[in-house]
């Protein structure tokens, strides 16, 4: 395998930094006093980050999403994880359940 030259390394590091910054997901508490983003905006942010970072599988989207939850939203997540038959790695199901629980609180 050929060694990378300095310009290639710099380019790879710049690309990596760009992906890292553009996929930074804000925390979501499920509390309007603490949240700087709505539930719908969080879902859109996850989906955009998935496109940028090439998260091509539902499990990665769900993992990134669940890692952003705190407070009441984290309690909701624990509830769906324990719900019989609920697949916490199915992005469409997770997204629908989350929006059903939190999107109406912001309208």
Phi-psi region of 83 (alpha: psi -120 to 50; beta: other; left: phi over 0): beta
Residue 4 has pLDDT above 60, yes or no: yes
99: Cβ contacts below 8 Å, ≥ 6 apart? 39, 40, 43
What is the structure's pLDDT at 101?
95
**Weakest mean pLDDT among 6-15, 53-62, 84-93:** 6-15
Q: What is the mean pLDDT of residues 47-54?
A: 90
What is the structure's pLDDT at 21?
53
Q: Residue 45: in which H helix or E strand, if any? A: helix 39-53
pTM recorded for the entire structure: 0.78
Q: What is the mean pLDDT of residues 50-56?
A: 89
Phi-psi region of 71 (alpha: psi -120 to 50; beta: other; left: phi over 0): left
Q: Which tens digits make up the pLDDT trace of 13-49?
A: 656 555 555 558 999 999 999 999 999 999 999 999 9
The residue with tokens 């992005």 is 91
Q: What is the mean pLDDT of residues 48-62?
A: 91
Take residue 7 and report the two structure tokens written for it: 């310009």
Taking the CA atoms of 83, 85, 87 and 92 in sequence, report the sign of the dihedral they define. Answer: negative
pLDDT greater at residue 73 or residue 23: 73
């Amino acid at each position: 395998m050929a060694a990378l030259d300095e310009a290639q390394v710099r380019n790879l590091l710049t690309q990596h930094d760009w992906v890292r910054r553009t996929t930074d997901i804000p925390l979501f508490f499920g509390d309007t006093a603490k949240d700087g983003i709505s539930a719908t905006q969080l879902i859109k942010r996850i989906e955009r980050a998935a496109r940028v970072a090439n998260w091509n599988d539902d499990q990665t989207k769900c993992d990134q999403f669940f890692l952003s939850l705190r407070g009441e939203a984290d309690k909701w997540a624990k509830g769906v994880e324990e719900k019989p038959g609920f697949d916490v790695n199915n992005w469409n199901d997770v997204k629908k359940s989350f929006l059903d629980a939190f999107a109406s609180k912001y309208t």
